[in-house]
Structure 1
Amino acid sequence: MAREGARPAFDPAGHDAALRAALQDLRTGRWMSMRTLLADTTQWWQWTRRTQVLAAAAAGTDVVRAWLAEEPDSVPAAVMRARVAVERALRAHREQHRRTHELWVEAWDASDGAARVAPQDPVPWVCLLALAQIDRDQRWEEHRAAPPDPMLPTGPWGLLAEADRRDPFNREAHHRMLQFLYARASSGRPTEAVGYAHWAAESAPRGSALHVLPLYVRVERYRRGGGQDAALDLHWVAEDAGREAHRALHLWFEHTHMAERSLLDLNHLAHALWGALQFPDAARVFDALGPYYTAVPWAYRTPQPGDPAQATEVFVQARTRCRAARDPGGRP
């Protein structure tokens, strides 16, 4: 447990020590640790998470290209090439870079190629799904498929189905669908995302990270509402907010182990329970985070969401409040 008041750290590897070691090597231009790590990864949820984190670190380097030059027939290297290409395309899209379309096409080709050489792998389909958010107007036919439920909008449902077929209830795949729906809503209210998150959570089994999806949408609604508004504070203590937090705690958190949990999911759950005034339960989630944290969603409860120091301060204050409520009179 992180001691009371200790400043948390952001670490993309979180509790995954093996991933942390591979990241350290990757940042120095070495790829063998990444190769070994991926060869030892046998579960799809872990494969999906590790390839995503590695790609974020590799996107500004030529490490994956060097790996492919040495091992051109490597399937994991082909998947990582797709991951890196998608990361670069999405960054260009966010920055409105003039090469966005070119990088999008390159990423689509790399992802399609990875799907062919790794037919059982959900990640290439997650990659294709991630790229759908760039096609905000749904010009591509595969991005305007009919939904599985009449209450849902058209979208890249076929891509989601392919990922789900290989790894049912894949966490990242469903978050990529959320991002697509956010992009459709642009700066408006993410109404479609609300319906989607509840639909996905209601269909998920116990232990699935999809039970946390409604908490993400609640944060997005708050962010788009402007935040830092006294009236919006009711957003966190409303009956439905407490119910969403309770469901995520009892249907996801209590049925998973530390290694399975995403730091982002833990932070969203701790934030939701704290906001709903369920302090003792929130303290349990803070304990599970240990020394780590993510700036989101705490940053949205600050006057300057771009200042990580302010996000850290809100996190520490919330953790202290929740632990004090659970352990009144106890020592830090």
Structure 2
Amino acid sequence: MSQDQFRPVYHPAGHDNELRTAMQDLRTGRWLSMRNLLHSTSNWGMWTQRTQVLAAVAAGSDAVQAWRSEEPASLAAIVMQCRVSVERALRAHREDHQRTQELWHEAWDACRIAAHQAPDDPVPWVCLLALAQLDEKQRLEEHRQVPPGPMLFSGPWGLLAEAHKRDPFNREAYHRMLQFVYARKSGGHLSEAVNFVQWAASAAPTGSALLVLPLYVRVERYRRDNGHERALDLHWVTDDATREAVLALEAWFDRVDPAQSSLLDLNHLAHALWGAGRFIEAARVFRALGPYYTAPPWLYRSQSPNDAALAEDVYLRARTRCLTAARDAGL
């Protein structure tokens, strides 16, 4: 297929074909593929990612409840019930639904049950971190604990520690913590987010997806500054921006299997390298993405950040520019 004919595809499963099959079955109310997939998932990183994607599909049905009725002792089903309950509470919060408080309490109970029944699983703690962003004023004591280092904010550090203890540097756990920073009523300043991601990335080992976290905050700053209206292209070519992009490339992308990596992480890395003018390096990431893409962060570079079609256009122009540069260089 020529570059002119190429059209990117968004699918939450990305390169995970088994997950895609389970999602298709789940949309028709069938849960056996989901159960079999989760029973065959052998590492916490993939387990966290798959349960999150499946919950987004299952939240609109009673498939997980049906699974629990058939197999009440299944730990995977108990954890998925926790996931689905949290997904429903978060959706209600975004929609300002009148049942938000009720769904929040139901989700909190489901998380605690899952944490008790599956004590080695990081997902219940990741889910509690996700719920923490609903407590915008930090009324609950577990959401305003003393931080582990200077320049950090009070927050749900105990929940993060529990997730980290079970799966060190769990990608979703740290992203949920970043979302909590953005949601805080008493703070939410980008300086807090910057301090957090620098703290997290500085401790992360080679190959950790947390090395991509600084790229997310850089995009968020651009979004808040309405960069697409102010011609802030220099935002992406500063020494700090370039250093963050190259570090994520060399210490993360080059050390992992991109096919098992988050599509969002890959898109943020391709975007950062393109923005920094590192077209040949970015081409490697675009090739690893294959046919897949995500609207963020590309939508924030368009003149209408809510228009998915414009986000796709920005992505296509960036991809073409980078692949052309690589081809011209004989790579």
TM-score (norm 2): 0.97
Letter in 2 for 1:141: E
Query: C-alpha distance in 1, partners of 2:186/2:30?
Result: 39
Aligned position for 1:68: 68
1:190 deviation in Å?
1.6
In terms of mean alpha carbon deviation, does 27-36 or 321-330 score higher? Answer: 321-330
Query: C-alpha distance in 2, partners of 1:94/1:304?
Result: 21
1:175 aligns with 2:175: yes
Aligned position for 1:192: 192
Which digits, 9 at most, give the CA deviation of each residue in 1:261-285, with x for residues without a partner?
1100000000000001100000000
Query: C-alpha distance in 2, partners of 1:217/1:64?
Result: 34
CA-atom RMSD in angstroms:
1.6
**Change over 3 Å in CA distance of 1:91–1:318 after alignment to 2:** same
1:123 aligns with 2:123: yes
Aligned position for 1:101: 101
Aligned position for 2:269: 269
Query: C-alpha distance in 2, partners of 1:9/1:325?
Result: 23
Aligned position for 1:137: 137
Query: C-alpha distance in 1, partners of 2:158/2:253?
Result: 29
Query: C-alpha distance in 2, partners of 1:3/1:280?
Result: 19
SS at match of 1:229: helix
Query: C-alpha distance in 1, partners of 2:148/2:171?
Result: 18
Greater relative contact order (CA < 8 Å, ≥ 6 in sequence): 1
1:189 deviation in Å?
4.0
SS at match of 1:98: coil
In terms of mean alpha carbon deviation, does 37-46 or 180-189 score higher? Answer: 180-189
Query: C-alpha distance in 1, partners of 2:320/2:253?
Result: 21
Identity of aligned residues (%): 65
1:100 deviation in Å?
0.9
Aligned position for 2:292: 292
Letter in 2 for 1:9: V
Contact 1:242/1:276 (8 A) holds in 2: yes
Letter in 1 for 2:18: A
Query: C-alpha distance in 1, partners of 2:242/2:186?
Result: 27
Contact 1:324/1:330 (8 A) holds in 2: no
Query: C-alpha distance in 2, partners of 1:313/1:259?
Result: 24
Q: Count matched residues.
A: 330
1:4 deviation in Å?
2.2
SS at match of 2:303: coil
1:185 deviation in Å?
6.2
Query: C-alpha distance in 1, partners of 2:298/2:231?
Result: 18
Contact 1:215/1:245 (8 A) holds in 2: yes
Letter in 1 for 2:218: R
**Change over 3 Å in CA distance of 1:266–1:185 after alignment to 2:** farther
Aligned position for 1:4: 3
Q: How does 1:1-332 map to 2 (within 5 A)?
A: 3-5=2-4, 6-184=6-184, 189-328=189-328
Contact 1:266/1:289 (8 A) holds in 2: yes
SS at match of 1:11: coil
1:300 deviation in Å?
0.7
Query: C-alpha distance in 2, partners of 1:312/1:76?
Result: 36
Query: C-alpha distance in 1, partners of 2:2/2:127?
Result: 39
Query: C-alpha distance in 1, partners of 2:100/2:254?
Result: 42
Query: C-alpha distance in 2, partners of 1:251/1:57?
Result: 33
Query: C-alpha distance in 2, partners of 1:280/1:158?
Result: 42
Query: C-alpha distance in 1, partners of 2:92/2:226?
Result: 26
Letter in 1 for 2:260: E
Contact 2:16/2:260 (8 A) holds in 1: no
SS at match of 1:155: coil
Query: C-alpha distance in 2, partners of 1:91/1:209?
Result: 26
Contact 1:189/1:224 (8 A) holds in 2: no
SS at match of 2:236: helix
Query: C-alpha distance in 1, partners of 2:60/2:84?
Result: 9
> Could you list the runs of 5+ residues in structure 2 that have no partner in the other structure?
none
Contact 1:187/1:224 (8 A) holds in 2: no
Letter in 2 for 1:30: R
SS at match of 1:134: coil
Query: C-alpha distance in 2, partners of 1:37/1:3?
Result: 35
